[in-house]
Structure 1
Amino acid sequence: MHILVTRVDAIGDVVLTLPLCGYIKQTFPGSKVAILARKYTKPVVDASDAVDTFIDYDEVFAMPKKEQTAFIKAFRFDAILHLITQPDLANLGKDAGIRKRVGTISRPYHWVTCNRLVWLRRKVSDDHEANLHFRLLRPLGGGKAPDKLWEYYHLKNFAALPDEFSALLKTDKFNIILHPKSNGNALEWKLDRFSELIDLLDPELFRVYITGSEKEHLELKSWLETLPKHVVDLTGKLPLDQLISFIHDADGLVAGSTGPMHLAAATGINTLGLFPKNRPKHAGRWGPIGRRASFIQTTTEDLDSISAEEVLQEIKKWEKITDN
């Protein structure tokens, strides 16, 4: 069976799609999985053995309509799973003649573009985003999401880190990454809180790294200049494939609901996510999924009600986490 899944949004969304892809390949022997996603998320897919083919959404939809259809048709997909609901994707699956087209009954355009409909309304669901994906697999004979979803990420293909970055991690200290921004996709812990946390992290025990995109580097520049000299600024310095490798080689990461938080959980390092209680942004829906992943969720809708001391106490628990 050759299956196409669609997930044309952010990095974290693509990370949370990988367990479904890995499950498909394990549950349906001989199956192949392709993902239609945005180009900037390709390094996430390339790092995983759960996906066989990456299809660039932006490249496909830059084609004239007939060429789009012919391009997708040439793959001879048996099924398409619309993990994200967009009319252009739904029309593409139908126009390409994909035999089984799975969508959600809550989207009226799926009534005419899909022939397998699943009841699913994400915004009102208490289920985790990664678990919700598995509902779309039911019309193809799939079951419920497995308990240990992190076993299906299949992140195995890590890019080589340049010496200047790999050398940073060669220390007897605990290498901890703080990722303050979210590209506007989630609530963010105030920078003052991150500063308080840095002050609480003993520099004799911890080496602290700040990560973020080039755009975020500009946003953080004045704050970065206030940090102690032992803090390493990596904002804007690591392309995504190298960021994934750096995260994998580090010991832990603290962030809000961001792509790097999900990447850290997926690579198996200690991960702490910071979440508000309000739906649909709460940890039950978007929390990190991994062997060493945990979160703090507020009792209010204010993320800054989480104190730096609370975060430090969670970090101290990391020493007790084992592979068992």
Structure 2
Amino acid sequence: MSKTINLNNKTVVISRTDSIGDVVLTLPMCAWLKQQFPECKIVFLGQSYTRPVLESAPFIDEILEWNKIEALPVQSRVEELKKLEANVFIHVFPNKEIAKLAKKAKIPFRIGTSHRSYHFLSCNIKPNFTRRKSEFHEAQLNFELLRSYGIKELPSLKELSALMADFHPKGTLPQDIQRSIEGLNLEQGKKKVILHARSQGSAVEWDIEKFSRLAKLLADNGHAVFYTGTNEEGVNIRGSIPTAQNVFDVTGKLTLAELQSFILQMDTLVACSTGPLHLAGILGIEAIGLFSPRRPIHPGRWMPLGEATKVIVHDEDCELCAKGEDCDCITKITAEKVYDTITSNIEELA
């Protein structure tokens, strides 16, 4: 379709029903649509647990929870989509069942990549692009789905980051955790650092012992360290958390809404490729990502957005990663290298 379609006064459904990080990297396209078509209505179809992230995005007008719709009988699912009176349905994360429902709901424009065979039966706009072998970032690739609506060139990472300027969490922190932050007596230039040591299997992970080494380096040099994660992750890592002054374990103590507000009060977050890393990036704090250079999980595809983002790999030219083979080179990143990355800008300002 060569002619740009005007979406003002139209309802657009963005479907991304996977994890937090993926949702975060989909938000810039929502912001762009609202920027280009201020009178359009943006409906986001996601999972219930990502709702706090979506509620922090003022350019999203309505949130649908797929897990709740999925629990309904098939015809009731169709009726839920019909109620939206949507004009456009964009399958950012392909899902065969959702694609069939959007067609049954007779949504006029249904957009999905041509690289999913079932989209040939369910979608009537099928952009031809591939994610796995692309040189572009995941958030940039999402814009391939908007070619019919005015996108001529994919936006830069800087432009994508700028689109997230209005993202702001609404949660407040539990009083005991807020008191812990306010009670810190750090010297000037010292940082409050989050270590999000696990990723619920979404990424190749760094050794927990190296997170411990990093925590001790930070604490011994006057910085404050906060471990975050789910309660289950906390059970698995608490034995390795150093018992040192200004090292705090808040695993299992924060909801997702609270975690976002917590991140806003910190200076740095260190993690592998996982949701909180992406949240830190768009919230504007220093987000340091530990990555493997292997495609398709390399930082060029999955680094967090944000002006203060930094990524670390052990060896950009790793032979095993270049061949696409399983590799543990991420575990060779030293705690000292990460510490130097965290403190380098402090030294530059001194």
* Alignment TM class, shorter chain as reference: over 0.9
In the TM superposition, residue 313 of structure 1 has moved relative to its aligned partner by 1.6
In the TM superposition, residue 321 of structure 1 has moved relative to its aligned partner by 8.9
Deviations 1:141-182 (A, max 9, x none): 334343321122231242122221222222353210000000
The answer to whether structure 1 residue 312 and structure 2 residue 339 are counterparts is: yes
The answer to whether structure 1 residue 77 and structure 2 residue 86 are counterparts is: yes
Q: Distance in 2 between matches of 1:83 and 1:321?
A: 41
In the TM superposition, residue 220 of structure 1 has moved relative to its aligned partner by 1.3
Look up the match of 1:98. 107
Aligned match of 2:213 in 196, 199, 219?
Answer: 196
Aligned match of 1:160 in 163, 169, 172?
Answer: 172
* Contact 2:53 2:169 survives alignment (8 Å): no
* Contact 2:223 2:246 survives alignment (8 Å): no
Deviations 1:258-305 (A, max 9, x none): 100000001001110000010111000100110111111231341111
SS at match of 2:126: strand
Gaps of 5+ in 1: none
TM-score by length of 1: 0.94
Aligned match of 1:60 in 69, 89, 97?
Answer: 69
The 3 A distance-change label for structure 1 pair 260 and 157 is: closer
* Contact 2:21 2:279 survives alignment (8 Å): yes
The answer to whether structure 1 residue 287 and structure 2 residue 309 are counterparts is: no
Q: Distance in 1 between matches of 2:24 and 2:348?
A: 23
Look up the match of 1:176. 193
Deviations 1:62-85 (A, max 9, x none): 111111111111111110111111
SS at match of 1:201: helix
Q: How does 1:233-272 map to 2 (within 5 A)?
A: 233-272=249-288
Look up the match of 2:313. 297
Q: Distance in 1 between matches of 2:259 and 2:64?
A: 22
* Contact 2:219 2:245 survives alignment (8 Å): no
Q: Which moved more, 1:159-168 or 1:106-115?
A: 159-168
The 3 A distance-change label for structure 1 pair 33 and 253 is: same
Q: Distance in 1 between matches of 2:185 and 2:148?
A: 51
Q: Distance in 2 between matches of 1:135 and 1:99?
A: 19
Q: Which runs of 4+ in 1 moved over 6 A?
A: none
The 3 A distance-change label for structure 1 pair 140 and 314 is: same
CA RMSD of aligned residues (A): 1.7
Look up the match of 1:24. 33
Look up the match of 2:322. none
In the TM superposition, residue 221 of structure 1 has moved relative to its aligned partner by 2.8
Gaps of 5+ in 2: 1-9, 319-326
Deviations 1:175-208 (A, max 9, x none): 1000000001101100111122122214453100
The 3 A distance-change label for structure 1 pair 125 and 140 is: same
Identity %: 35
TM-score by length of 2: 0.88
